[in-house]
């Protein structure tokens, strides 16, 4: 058996471990690229969501590389995600790929443990070995997913302080490779310190006062840098500190009903959107309020073109929340037509606006920049985020 799954940024490292720990070989699709998008667009229904097209291209690429088992997440949410796997399987068969099976990974409610059926489907037939391997697979998967989240968190902070442009990207690539190759429980336990030490050893300029921006949106767009035109790197290289709480780990913990941060965001969003309408809509609204309350300078909302839940969240922010919280927000709707030049110009204009607003605020309130920063950091972000912020702010 040779298994594969579509790309979603760095998450491939965690998914790869999940499958490999079950004793199954993995072939990764090439990183999402123009060719994969072209194929996805060509064979998908025109108005289907953009992540459907991008992942269809990845799956075809995996089949071309010899995969015979494809794993695709499904959900029972109120939007189109629930149909991805079955429609993609049909399209791939129509494209001429007959000898593969597509296993839907049901992640609607992980506490129902239906996902274990998938793990068992790809595992060995011996019952005892099967349970031992499944336990190890889940444990390693969760640990790697958490470390990937920490790498993403530190990346968003340190890039705004790096002296040599590109250092953070190099550190991230190095850590991701190292994490991919770490396959012992001791190594994974120690990896949090590896991340901290590697970032802390970077050559950074602690005298800077970067703008702080929260970033949120639909999960596939938020995590896959090719489809979001690498927005987090671009903002960071413009000297902006960013925090994005959406990650694979964040999503998995939420599906186990243990994500208290998401529950907090739902609480904040409830007066404005009292139910889950699909995508990340509820949490985007919560994030906007949380980010504004924490004194951040701006907010970025990214989503796929035609994504109904995210467009609803956008409308609520524009028509209602912005008047209450007065936090500048920029929206990016991505699809196969998105080009990098207009995108960069919009980002630069947004960053200029945020600088002007912050300067005026500091002048009006007659406070120092250090006092201004303290307002924001008292109650925001997870432990790792706060440890990193403390490090870059300690002179
Ligand atoms: S969240 Fe948006 S992009 Fe994702 S399946 Fe639903 S409608 Fe499509």
Q: Are residues 14 and 147 in the same domain?
A: no
The predicted pLDDT at position 380 comes to 77
The predicted pLDDT at position 2 comes to 94
The predicted pLDDT at position 377 comes to 52
Q: Are residues 77 and 110 in the same domain?
A: yes
Counting the structural domains of the chain, the total is 2
Residue 378 neighbours by CB under 8 Å, 6+ apart: none
Q: Are residues 102 and 150 in the same domain?
A: no
Domain-ending residue, one of 123, 152, 178: 123
376 has pLDDT over 60 = no
Domain-ending residue, one of 123, 155, 173: 123
Say how far apart CA 282 and CA 275 lie, in whole Å. 7
Say how far apart CA 29 and CA 5 lie, in whole Å. 7
DSSP symbols for 65-95 = TT--EEEEEE---SSGGGGHHHHHHHHHHHT
Say what the alpha-carbon torsion angle 317, 321, 326, 327 is, to the nearest 10 degrees.
-40
Q: Are residues 113 and 179 in the same domain?
A: no
**Backbone angles phi and psi of 217, in degrees to 5:** 150, -170
Confidence tier at 362 by pLDDT (50, 70, 90): confident
The predicted pLDDT at position 76 comes to 67
Q: Is 104 in the pocket of ligand 1 (CB under 6 A)?
A: no
- Kind and range of the H or E element at 235? helix 231-237
The predicted pLDDT at position 379 comes to 64
Q: Which atom of ligand 1 is nearest to the CA of 81?
A: 5
Residue 37, domain member (yes or no): yes
Q: Can you tell me the mean pLDDT for 243-254?
A: 95
Confidence tier at 165 by pLDDT (50, 70, 90): very high
Residue 169 tokens read as 């990207």
Give the mean pLDDT of the chain.
92
CA of 233 to the centre of ligand 1 (A): 24
Q: Are residues 101 and 146 in the same domain?
A: no
Q: Are residues 40 and 188 in the same domain?
A: no
Phi-psi category of residue 331: left, alpha or beta, with phi > 0 → left and psi -120 to 50 → alpha: beta
Residue 386, domain member (yes or no): yes
The predicted pLDDT at position 232 comes to 97
Q: Can you tell me the mean pLDDT for 247-267?
A: 93
CATH for 22: 3.40.50
Choose among 223, 168, 278, 199: nearest CA to 51. 223
Residue 134, domain member (yes or no): no
Q: Are residues 182 and 229 in the same domain?
A: yes
373 has pLDDT over 70 = no
Q: Are residues 348 and 374 in the same domain?
A: yes
Residue 101 tokens read as 């099976």
Q: Is 214 in the pocket of ligand 1 (CB under 6 A)?
A: no
Residue 129, domain member (yes or no): no
Say how far apart CA 32 and CA 62 lie, in whole Å. 11
Q: Are residues 172 and 217 in the same domain?
A: yes
Residue 133, domain member (yes or no): no
CA of 123 to the centre of ligand 1 (A): 31
Q: Can you tell me the mean pLDDT for 152-164?
A: 97
Residue 163, domain member (yes or no): yes
Residues spanned by the domain of 51: 2-123
Q: Is 49 in the pocket of ligand 1 (CB under 6 A)?
A: yes
Domain-ending residue, one of 123, 150, 181: 123
Lowest mean pLDDT among 2-11, 51-60, 97-106, 211-220: 97-106
The predicted pLDDT at position 173 comes to 97
Residues 16 and 41: beta-carbon distance below 8 Å: no
Say how far apart CA 359 and CA 331 lie, in whole Å. 23
Q: Can you tell me the mean pLDDT for 63-69?
A: 96
DSSP state of 99: S
Choose among 281, 305, 221: nearest CA to 7. 221
Q: Is 51 in the pocket of ligand 1 (CB under 6 A)?
A: yes
Question: Model-level pTM?
Answer: 0.93
Q: Can you tell me the mean pLDDT for 222-246?
A: 96
CA of 314 to the centre of ligand 1 (A): 14
85 has pLDDT over 80 = yes
The predicted pLDDT at position 124 comes to 65
Q: Is 308 in the pocket of ligand 1 (CB under 6 A)?
A: yes
Q: Can you tell me the mean pLDDT for 180-206?
A: 96
Q: Is 123 in the pocket of ligand 1 (CB under 6 A)?
A: no
Q: Which atom of ligand 1 is nearest to the CA of 51?
A: 3
Give per-residue pLDDT as tens, 271-329: 999 998 989 999 999 999 999 999 899 999 999 998 999 999 999 999 999 999 999 99
Q: Are residues 38 and 110 in the same domain?
A: yes
CA of 143 to the centre of ligand 1 (A): 27
Say how far apart CA 158 and CA 242 lie, in whole Å. 9
Residue 8, domain member (yes or no): yes
Nearest CA to ligand 1 atom 1: 279
CA of 24 to the centre of ligand 1 (A): 30
Cα distances (Å, whole numbers) of residue 351 to 34, 168, 231, 310, 324: 28, 20, 13, 23, 22
Residue 261 tokens read as 């941060």
The predicted pLDDT at position 251 comes to 93
Q: Are residues 252 and 218 in the same domain?
A: yes
Residue 132, domain member (yes or no): no
Q: Are residues 300 and 371 in the same domain?
A: yes
């Amino acid at each position: 058996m040779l298994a594969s799954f579509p790309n979603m940024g760095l998450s491939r490292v965690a998914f790869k471990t999940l499958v490999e720990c079950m004793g199954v070989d993995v072939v990764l699709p090439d990183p999402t690229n123009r060719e994969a998008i072209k194929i996805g667009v060509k064979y998908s229904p025109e108005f289907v969501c953009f992540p459907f097209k991008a992942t269809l291209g990845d799956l075809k690429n995996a089949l071309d590389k010899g995969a015979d088992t494809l794993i695709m997440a499904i959900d029972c949410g109120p939007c189109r995600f629930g149909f991805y796997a079955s429609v993609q399987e049909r399209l791939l068969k129509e494209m001429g790929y007959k000898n593969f099976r597509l296993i839907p990974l049901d992640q609607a409610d992980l506490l129902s443990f239906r996902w274990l059926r998938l793990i068992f489907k790809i595992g060995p037939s011996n019952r005892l070995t099967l349970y031992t391997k499944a336990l190890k697979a889940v444990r390693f998967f969760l640990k790697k997913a958490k470390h990937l989240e920490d790498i993403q968190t530190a990346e968003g902070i340190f890039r705004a302080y790096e002296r040599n442009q590109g250092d953070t990207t190099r550190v991230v690539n190095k850590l991701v490779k190292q994490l991919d190759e770490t396959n012992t429980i001791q190594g994974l336990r120690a990896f949090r310190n590896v991340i901290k030490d590697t970032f802390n050893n970077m050559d950074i300029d602690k005298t800077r006062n970067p703008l702080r921006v929260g970033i949120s949106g639909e999960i596939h767009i938020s995590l896959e840098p090719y489809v979001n035109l690498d927005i987090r790197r671009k903002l960071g290289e413009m000297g902006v500190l960013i925090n994005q709480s959406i990650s694979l780990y964040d999503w998995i913990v939420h599906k186990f009903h243990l994500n208290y941060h998401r529950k907090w965001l739902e609480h904040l969003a409830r007066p404005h959107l009292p139910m889950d309408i699909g995508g990340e809509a509820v949490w985007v609204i919560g994030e906007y309020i949380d980010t504004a309350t924490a004194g951040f300078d701006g907010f970025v909302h990214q989503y796929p073109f035609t994504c109904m839940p995210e467009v609803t969240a956008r409308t609520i922010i524009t028509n209602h929340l912005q008047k209450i919280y007065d936090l500048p927000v920029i929206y990016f709707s991505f699809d196969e037509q998105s080009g990098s030049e207009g995108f960069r110009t919009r980002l630069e204009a947004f960053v200029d606006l945020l600088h002007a607003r912050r300067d005026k605020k500091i002048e009006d309130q007659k406070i120092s920049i250090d006092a201004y920063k303290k307002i924001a950091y008292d109650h925001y972000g997870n432990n790792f985020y706060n440890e990193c912020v403390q490090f870059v702010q300690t002179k």
